[in-house]
A and B are shown apart, each in its own frame.
Chain A
């Protein structure tokens, strides 16, 4: 009997205007959104590839170990098309340096800060807004409407039990909603195929499949909200108005209000405090470095040349310079590395505060099924905070490997190749040419000698071969599907519970429903 009711309801739904319009809107919006979002992703991917290539090229140019300061770029996430999450809010890159440990930061450099006047745009916006409205529209008159038409009492005058009617109506509603959802997903996938540069891996398909499932659960939750109101009131317009007001509260009021509540309860320390703490650490470090400086005799000379990663290196150093830098590197670099960890501690303390506020806001917003759905989508797409933290953890691990690598290659920074590649006798040759230029009799002579000197210098730069970095540690970052899924589980469970709860409430309401019309 349940199936018969479900079939009847489903066929009736298919013929409705709201179903036709809702489905068309979903598909049309996917057709409009997807190409725009995918091409935006493609553009970001291109920038990422260019940046990685430039970084690799710089790495091949490195002549001294101290200049090894590559940047690790976060590959744009193809699934950000579905859920943007924090993808565009967090920094895209992290620099690997001895004296600094990278940590999560807001995107700052290179992006236009004025663009923050715009809200986020992704495909889940279509699902969470349009599909949820559609779910309410399908559900609002499912009981109250039948009562108004007088068909409900006819149905219930037979042998069919009330729970069967409700189950049939739920099934029918869900099958009705699956159609636009599935069509939107299929159209979206087809559009992906039109972008040859965009490559979806096997795990991405699984993630999309899970997103589809999550969307279904979300739709069932929204449908059950509508069903509850339909079972609670006698007139369908009232059911619709109630449903839509709840929807407005869930879509607009709760997500925005939860941010404010979290700000109030978990206030942040002012950034000046972070700055002053960092300054204090920097002062301690500088003091320690100054102490070391006292142990090394200064008074050396050098000629610098531009090196990889926009850093200079000592093309030529005099004897004292060689001694100075050798000692200085051996004594100072471990101090810098030690203080890099202290800087990190301070930054992490500040970040923990931000995270607390974020989790609080998240918990408040969990009162809205729409926020739960957003959380699930961003966890599955890998655009959530946890994924960004995982990326940063890997970057820090990579930095440790790089530091160890440099340490081992330069015998704890004592090797000359850490800061220069000059040989004995280079300094004397350099001086000879320079003095000749200085002592020139007239301007023309001076220019000629200077030109010769510059040529000699260029030759010297060209002669200095780049370091062989074949065994340089590779950056490994492999986000796992299992981790994403485990992050989505709490919200998924909560959403399922919400859906179930509303269904149970609808059931109770329907059991007590007065089916008489008029």
Chain B
């Protein structure tokens, strides 16, 4: 019997104007999204390789002297990810340039990206289309599924037979999901055909798996709105009233609540201002200088004379002092960076009462874009920085002329030769290569969000089930 109801629902929906409109809107949005992506991705990839090659050629120039390699400030740019097709994650307005040498790393910056005079636009990616347009379409399909039938008088006819209520509810749920799934899957197919048929974009197995996961996630997300529609539909007697409530709920869940994130982040998490940061840095420097005067790093730790034979120089003490200065500054930078990330996350954590926020975050996590991309890249860069330092240390130990003191004070390194001045083979120098997260790692990060989406489904299902069991069909 359940199949009969599903079939009836689907056929009824197929013939409706809303289905045709949704189909047209969704297919055109997905097609536009595909063309936009292909065009922008190629451009981004070209830019990325140009900048990466510039960085590498800069690095190779430094390899004529080992110490120059240590001091060379590398500029690593975020690699464009193919899965921005699914979830762009505001990558265009997030920091994309990471500058560092083996001793220090700057705070990530935004370099040469978008036009700051144009207001914040979202890219029309899958997550955008699904979280805003399809969630709306889900409500448009579901709003009259119970109360509309009651108004038409067909619900009591149906229930006058031997069919139990839960089967009717299941039938309506699956019928709406299938109706919704058709424009979604056709849209995705059109989008993927456009993308795959472009010569420059190749998806590997991991990417396909992630795409498949995002599609599953999308169904999980849309199911929440279908169940919400069924729930409200079985709480109201008139379909017009149901539509009003659903529309306002949708506006709240999909548009208003996500907009609150920024204010919540600003209000609930204070990060030091630039002036405070400068003061903290100066205090840290002052403290270390004081320690140097008190002899913590050895005699003459803070004095410098290019002449190594001068009685007032002590290279090991100076190196300890300079490293202490750099370490303190690095700690402050790292802490500030962590605070910035925590501030950005807190708004999203609070706005998780909206499934749209959860879906957006889960989509970005699986796709490896957005905040997670920055965090992941920053971590990889810090790891690379440590590896490069280790490489320089090992190469330096092979040079008998060097004092073997890795210190961030370039004048001292140059005049005292505390790091080897010999050339190294550039081929053996570690080079940075960004690595995407595997699906397993991404899933681990998104597990809470997926759990929340399932929870929303269960709650709304239970609510609609109970409401429909108690529904007065007269």
Contact = CB atoms under 8 A, between A and B. Distances in A.
A416 B87 CA distance: 61
A118 B111 contact: no
A18 B115 contact: no
Nearest to B236: A17
> For chain B, what secondary structure do more than half of its interface residues adopt (helix, strand, loop), or is it mixed?
helix
Residue among A21, A47, A113 facing the most chain B CB atoms (10 A cut-off): A113
A272 B112 CA distance: 8
Q: 5 closest A-B pairs (Cβ-Cβ)? A: A271-B112, A106-B116, A114-B344, A118-B262, A259-B121
Interface stretch (A61-69, A350-358, A422-430): A350-358
Contacts of B171: none
Interface string B77-119: 0000000000001100111000000000000111110011111
Counting contact residues on chain B (CB < 8 A from A), the size range is: 35 or more
A189 to B, nearest CB: 20
A490 B258 CA distance: 32
Given A113-B110, A118-B261, A237-B239, A129 B256 contact: yes
Contact of A89 (B119, B238, B348, B370): B119
A121 B116 contact: no
Contact of B93 (A29, A116, A270): A116
Interface in B242-289: 243-245, 247-248, 251-252, 255-256, 258-263, 265-267, 271, 273-275
Main secondary structure, interface of A, reads: helix
Contact of A112 (B90, B120, B271): B271
A76 to B, nearest CB: 13
A244 B93 contact: no
Nearest to B238: A17
Size bin of chain A's contact surface = 35 or more
B401 interface: no
B117 A17 contact: no
Given A17-B238, A252-B132, A256-B122, 11 more contacts: A37-B263, A89-B117, A113-B93, A117-B370, A119-B262, A120-B120, A126-B256, A133-B251, A236-B240, A252-B133, A253-B133
Contacts of B347: 115, 118
Interface string A251-286: 011011101101110001011100000000000000
Contacts of A414: none
A125 B256 contact: yes
A22 B244 contact: yes
Given A115-B343, A120-B120, A241-B17, A130 B271 contact: no
A255 B263 contact: no
Contact of A117 (B90, B121, B140, B260): B90
Contacts of A256: 121-124, 128
Contact of A244 (B47, B117, B140, B248): B140
B36 interface: yes
B94 A21 contact: no
Query: Which of B25, B93, B115, B132 counts the most chain A CB atoms within 10 A?
Result: B115
Contacts of A263: 115
8 contacts: A90-B116, A113-B93, A116-B93, A126-B256, A259-B119, A264-B39, A271-B111, A354-B117
A117 B115 contact: no
Contacts of A137: 243-244, 247
B396 interface: no
Contacts of B243: 137, 240
B32 interface: yes
B321 interface: no
Interface string B328-348: 000000000000110110011
Contacts of B244: 17-18, 21-22, 137
A213 interface: no
B273 A248 contact: no
A203 interface: no
Interface of A: 17-18, 21-22, 25, 29, 36-37, 39-40, 43, 47, 54, 85-86, 89-90, 104-110, 112-121, 125-126, 129-130, 133, 137, 141, 236-238, 240-242, 244-245, 248-249, 252-253, 255-257, 259-260, 262-264, 268, 270-272, 354-355, 357-358, 361, 385
B94 A86 contact: no
A17 B241 CA distance: 6
Contact of A260 (B36, B89, B111): B36
Interface of B: 17-18, 21, 25, 29, 32, 36, 39, 47, 89-90, 93-95, 108-112, 115-124, 128, 132-133, 136, 140, 144, 238-241, 243-245, 247-248, 251-252, 255-256, 258-263, 265-267, 271, 273-275, 340-341, 343-344, 347-348, 370-371, 374
Contacts of B140: 241, 244
A378 to B, nearest CB: 9
A257 B116 contact: no
A125 B259 contact: yes
B340 A113 contact: yes
Q: Which of A29, A106, A112, A358 has the most CB of B within 10 A?
A: A112
A40 B263 contact: yes
B371 A121 contact: no
Contacts, number: 184
A403 to B, nearest CB: 26
A120 B263 contact: no
A355 B89 contact: no
Contacts of A114: 94-95, 340-341, 343-344, 371, 374
A120 B316 CA distance: 53
A126 B257 CA distance: 11
Nearest to B39: A264
A236 B112 CA distance: 50
B124 A249 contact: no
Contacts of A36: 260, 263, 267
Contacts of A249: 25
B115 A354 contact: yes
B47 A270 contact: yes
A357 B115 contact: yes
A336 B117 CA distance: 29
A358 B118 contact: yes
Given A113-B108, A119-B259, A355-B117, A237 B95 contact: no
B255 A129 contact: yes
A86 B115 CA distance: 12
A255 B121 contact: yes
Contacts of B89: 117
B144 A121 contact: no
Given A118-B347, A256-B122, A260-B36, A245 B371 contact: no
A385 B90 contact: no
Given A89-B116, A118-B347, A241 B18 contact: yes
B256 A260 contact: no
Contacts of A130: 248, 251
Contacts of B259: 118-121, 125
Nearest to B95: A113
B297 to A, nearest CB: 18
A47 B119 CA distance: 24
A86 B124 contact: no
